[in-house]
C-alpha cells in the first residue's frame, strides 16, 4: 500500500473530526467556519489574561525548583492528563458508535489493520491539538515572563495528549472485551466523567478532611504531601522537569508516550475491525423486553410524565453530559457530613454550589424534554392541549432536580433549617429560570443533538450560565449579607428580563 493511501485516510479522519467540531460549534449551520476560527483565536488571546493571574507568580521557576514547586507542576500535569484521558475516552467511544462510514471502509481494498491504525493516530492528533490550543495561553505567559525554557511545556502537552489517547483506546477495547458493546457505551461515559472530575474532587475531599475548606492548593502545598513525595532523583518528576526545560526529561517523556501509542496500535489494530462492527450493530439491534408491561390506570398528565422519565432514562448520551454536575456535589456533601461534628462556617459554601449545580442540570434536562423531541407529530396527536403537554414536561424537570438535591437538603435542614430553606428556594428558582430560558428559546431538535444544544442560541447559553451564577450568589449572600442578596437577586432578575425581551417568542 502506498503512503499516499494512508495519508488519504488520515485526511479523511481529520476532516471528519473537524466537521464534527464545526457542527457542534455552529449547530450545523453552514458558512460559519471562518467565524468559528476567528472566535477561537480571539478566545485564545483572551485566555492570556486569566492565565497571567493564575501562573504569573510561577514564571521565575527554573530547573533548580524546590520540591513544593515541583509538586504543584506535577499535579497540574496529572490533572491535564486525566482531563485529556476523559475527553479521549468519549471521543473513542463516539468513533465506535457514531461513525457512519464503516461500510465504506470495509469495502475498500486497504487492509483494515492499517486503516484503524491511521484512525487511532488521528484521534491522538485531534486530542493533542485541542490540548495545545488551551495550554498555549498559559505557556505563552510563562515564556514571556520567565524565559524561553518554558516553551518545552508544549512538548509535554503533546506527550500528555498522545499517551492519554493511547490509554483511552486501550480502555475502550478492554471494556468491549469484558462487558460487550452494548454496556460499553454507558460504562465508558461514566468512566470518562469520573476520570475527568475525580482528581479535582479528590483534592477537594482531601482539603475538606484536613483544613475544612474547598481549597485544592492548600493540600498541594501542605507538609503532608511533601512528606509522601518521591525522591528528587525519581523518574516520576520527569514531566515536571520537562516543563521547566530539561531536555533529557522531555525526550524521555515524548519517547515513552510515542512508544505507548505504537504498542497500543500494534496490539489493538488487528481486532479493532470486529469491535467496531459489533458497536455499529448495537444501535441497529432492537432491545428485547424481558417482561410483559401492563397498562396502569392514571390521568393523561401522569402518562406524559412517565413517558418523559422513560425517555430520559433511555437517552444514550445523557450520562456523560449530566453526571459531571452531579459529581461536583460530592465535595459539598462531604463538607455537610463533616459539619455534623464540627459546626464550621464553611458550611455556607454548600449553598451556592448546590444552587448552581441545580440550575445547570435543569438547563440540560429542560432542553431534552422541551426541545429534544424525536416524535413531535406523535405527541401533537395526544388528546391534550399543548399547554398541558408543556406543563407535564416542566414538572418532570423540576421533579428530577428535586430528586437530586433532596438528599443534600435533608441533613442540611438538621444542621441549619434557615440555610436549608434558602438553599431549597435557590434551587427551585434557579431550575425554574433555566427551564424558562429553554422555553423562550426552544427550537425543535433531535435528542442526539444534546451535545450541540448550546449552539442553538449563544445568547440563551450565556443567559442560562449567568442565571445559575446569579441565583447561586444570591442564595449565598442571603445567608451572609442579606442586603447584597437583594441587590444580586434584582440583578439576576434583570438578566432574565433582558433575556425574555430578546427571545424569539417575545419578538414574535
pLDDT bin (cut points 50, 70, 90) of residue 164 is very high
For residues 122 and 10, the answer to whether their CB atoms sit within 8 Å is: yes
User: Which pLDDT score, from 0 to 100, does residue 425 have?
Assistant: 94
CA distances from 53 to 47, 58, 79 (A): 10, 10, 19
Helix axes 153-211, 247-282, angle to 10 degrees: 80
Residue range 464-468: average pLDDT? 85
Q: What is the mean pLDDT of residues 413-440?
A: 90
29 or 353: which carries more pLDDT confidence?
A: 353
Q: What is the pLDDT of residues 469-507, one digit of tens each?
A: 899 989 989 988 889 989 999 999 998 888 888 776 554
50-88 residue pLDDT tens = 788 777 777 777 777 777 778 888 888 888 888 888 888
Dihedral (C-alpha) 160, 164, 166, 169: value to the nearest 10 degrees? -160
Radius of gyration (C-alpha) of the chain in whole angstroms: 25
Q: Which residues pair with 372 in a beta bridge?
A: 445
Cell of 25: 460549534
- The total number of residues written for the chain in this structure: 508
SS3 assignment, position 390: helix
Q: In whole angstroms, what is the distance from residue 170 CA to residue 166 CA? A: 6
Return d(Cα 49, Cα 412) in angstroms, integer: 38
| Range of lowest pLDDT (20-34, 91-105, 261-275) | 20-34
What is the mean pLDDT of the segment spanning 351-366?
85
Dihedral pair phi/psi, residue 338, rounded to 5°? -65, -30
Residue 131 lies in a domain: yes
Mean pLDDT confidence for 213-225: 63
What does the pLDDT average to over 172-176? 84
Tell me, yes or no, whether 257 and 341 share the same domain: no
Instruction: Please tell me whether residues 132 and 231 are part of one structural domain.
Output: yes
Q: Which of 282, 317, 338 is the last residue of a domain?
A: 282
16 occurs within a structural domain: yes
* C-alpha grid cell, residue 18: 473537524
Q: Are residues 357 and 241 in the same domain?
A: no
Cell 492499517 locates to 114
Grid cell of 498 as nine digits: 433582558
All three cell numbers of 117, joined, read: 491504525
pLDDT of residue 45: 78
Q: Does 155 have pLDDT greater than 80?
A: yes
Answer whether residue 341 is part of any domain. Answer: yes
| Least confident stretch, 122-136, 180-194, 425-439 | 180-194
Instruction: Output the 3-class SS for 67-113.
Output: HHHHHHHHHHHHHHHHHHHHHHHHHHHHHHHHCCCHHHHHCCCCCHH
Distance CA 322, CA 309 (A): 15
Mean pLDDT value across the chain: 75
| Alpha-carbon 489 to chain mean position | 28
Same domain, 30 and 80: yes
Which letter does DSSP use for residue 328 in this model? T
Give the whole-angstrom CA distance, residue 310 versus residue 445. 18
Q: How far apart are CA 322 and CA 237, in angstroms?
A: 35
**Inter-residue contact 72 to 221 (CB < 8 Å):** yes
Contact 265, 120 (CB under 8 A): yes
15 and 92, same domain (yes or no): yes
Residue 316 has pLDDT above 60, yes or no: no
| End residue of a domain, out of 282, 311, 341 | 282
CB 452 within 8 A of CB 27: yes
Q: Are residues 323 and 232 in the same domain?
A: no
Highest mean pLDDT among 35-39, 181-185, 242-246: 242-246
- Is it the case that residue 399 has pLDDT exceeding 80? yes
Largest CA distance in the chain: 75
> Residues 431, 392: one domain?
yes
Provide the domain limits for residue 353: 300-507
Check whether 122 has a pLDDT greater than 60: yes
pLDDT at 507: 47
Are residues 265 and 363 located together in one domain of the fold?
no
Number of independent structural domains in the chain = 2
**Count of beta carbons in the 10 Å neighbourhood of residue 264:** 21
- Lowest-pLDDT choice from 277-281, 419-423, 424-428: 277-281
Can you give the pLDDT at residue 450?
46
Cell 441565583 identifies what position?
471
Q: Is residue 176 situated within a structural domain?
A: yes
141 and 278, same domain (yes or no): yes
- 496 and 435 share a domain? yes
pLDDT of residue 284 exceeding 50: no
Residue 119 belongs to some domain of the structure:
yes
One domain for residues 226 and 360 = no
Q: Are residues 309 and 443 in the same domain?
A: yes
Contacts of 364 (CB under 8 A, 6+ apart): 318, 321, 322, 325, 450, 453
Residue of 202, 198, 195 whose CA lies nearest to 216: 202
Contact 213, 202 (CB under 8 A): no
| Average pLDDT, integer, range 287-315 | 62
Q: So what's the pLDDT on residue 5?
A: 60
Does residue 295 form part of some domain?
no
Mean pLDDT of 205-225: 63
Question: How many CB atoms are closer than 10 A to CB 263?
Answer: 12
Rounded Cα distance between 485 and 478, Å, is: 5
- Of 226, 252, 282, the one marking the end of a domain is 282
Q: How crowded is the C-beta side of 267, counted as CA atoms within 13 Å?
A: 13
The SS3 assignment for 395 reads helix
- Tell whether 167 is covered by a domain: yes
Asked if 159 contacts 257 with a C-beta cutoff of 8 angstroms, the reply is yes
Residue 400 lies in a domain: yes
Amino acid at each position: 500500500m502506498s503512503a499516499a493511501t494512508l495519508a488519504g485516510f488520515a485526511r479523511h479522519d481529520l476532516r471528519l473530526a473537524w466537521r464534527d467540531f464545526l457542527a457542534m460549534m455552529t449547530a450545523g449551520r453552514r458558512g460559519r467556519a471562518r467565524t468559528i476560527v476567528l472566535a477561537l483565536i480571539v478566545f485564545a488571546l483572551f485566555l492570556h489574561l486569566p492565565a497571567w493571574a493564575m501562573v504569573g507568580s510561577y514564571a521565575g521557576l527554573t530547573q533548580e525548583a524546590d520540591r513544593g514547586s515541583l509538586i504543584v507542576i506535577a499535579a497540574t500535569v496529572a490533572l491535564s492528563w486525566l482531563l485529556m484521558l476523559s475527553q479521549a475516552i468519549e471521543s473513542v467511544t463516539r468513533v465506535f458508535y457514531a461513525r457512519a462510514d464503516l461500510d465504506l471502509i470495509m469495502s475498500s481494498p486497504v487492509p483494515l489493520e492499517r486503516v484503524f491504525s491511521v484512525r487511532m493516530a488521528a484521534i491522538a492528533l485531534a486530542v493533542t491539538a485541542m490540548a495545545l490550543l488551551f495550554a498555549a495561553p498559559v505557556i505563552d505567559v510563562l515564556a514571556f515572563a520567565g524565559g524561553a525554557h518554558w516553551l518545552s511545556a508544549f512538548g509535554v502537552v503533546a506527550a500528555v495528549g498522545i499517551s492519554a489517547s493511547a490509554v483511552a483506546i486501550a480502555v475502550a477495547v478492554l471494556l468491549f472485551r469484558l462487558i460487550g458493546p452494548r454496556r460499553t457505551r454507558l460504562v465508558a461515559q461514566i468512566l470518562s466523567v469520573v476520570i475527568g472530575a475525580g482528581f479535582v474532587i479528590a483534592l477537594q475531599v482531601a482539603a475538606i478532611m484536613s483544613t475544612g475548606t474547598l481549597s485544592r492548593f492548600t493540600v498541594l502545598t501542605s507538609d503532608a504531601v511533601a512528606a509522601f513525595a518521591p525522591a528528587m532523583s525519581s523518574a516520576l518528576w520527569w514531566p515536571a522537569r520537562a516543563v521547566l526545560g530539561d531536555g533529557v526529561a522531555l525526550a524521555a517523556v515524548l519517547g515513552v508516550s510515542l512508544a505507548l501509542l505504537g504498542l497500543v496500535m500494534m496490539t489493538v489494530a488487528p481486532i479493532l475491525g470486529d469491535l467496531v462492527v459489533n458497536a455499529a450493530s448495537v444501535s441497529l439491534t432492537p432491545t428485547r423486553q424481558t417482561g410483559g408491561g401492563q397498562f396502569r390506570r392514571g390521568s393523561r398528565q401522569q402518562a406524559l410524565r412517565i413517558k418523559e422519565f422513560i425517555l430520559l432514562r433511555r437517552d444514550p448520551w445523557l450520562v456523560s453530559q449530566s453526571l459531571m454536575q452531579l459529581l461536583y456535589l460530592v465535595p459539598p456533601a462531604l463538607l455537610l457530613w463533616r459539619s455534623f461534628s464540627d459546626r464550621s462556617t464553611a458550611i455556607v459554601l454548600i449553598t451556592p454550589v448546590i444552587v448552581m449545580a441545580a440550575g445547570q442540570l435543569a438547563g440540560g434536562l429542560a432542553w431534552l424534554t422541551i426541545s429534544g423531541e424525536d416524535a413531535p407529530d406523535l405527541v401533537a396527536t395526544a388528546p391534550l392541549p399543548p399547554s398541558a403537554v408543556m406543563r407535564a414536561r416542566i414538572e418532570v424537570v423540576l421533579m428530577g432536580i428535586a430528586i437530586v438535591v433532596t438528599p443534600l437538603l435533608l441533613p442540611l435542614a438538621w444542621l441549619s433549617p434557615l440555610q436549608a430553606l434558602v438553599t431549597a428556594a435557590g434551587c427551585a428558582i434557579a431550575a425554574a429560570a433555566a427551564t424558562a430560558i429553554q422555553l423562550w428559546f426552544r427550537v425543535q431538535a433531535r435528542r442526539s443533538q444534546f451535545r450541540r444544544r448550546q449552539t442553538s442560541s449563544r445568547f440563551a447559553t450565556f443567559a442560562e450560565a449567568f442565571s445559575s451564577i446569579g441565583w447561586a450568589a444570591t442564595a449565598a449572600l442571603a445567608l451572609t449579607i442579606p442586603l447584597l442578596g437583594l441587590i444580586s437577586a434584582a440583578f439576576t432578575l434583570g438578566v432574565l428580563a433582558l433575556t425574555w425581551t430578546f427571545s424569539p417568542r417575545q419578538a414574535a
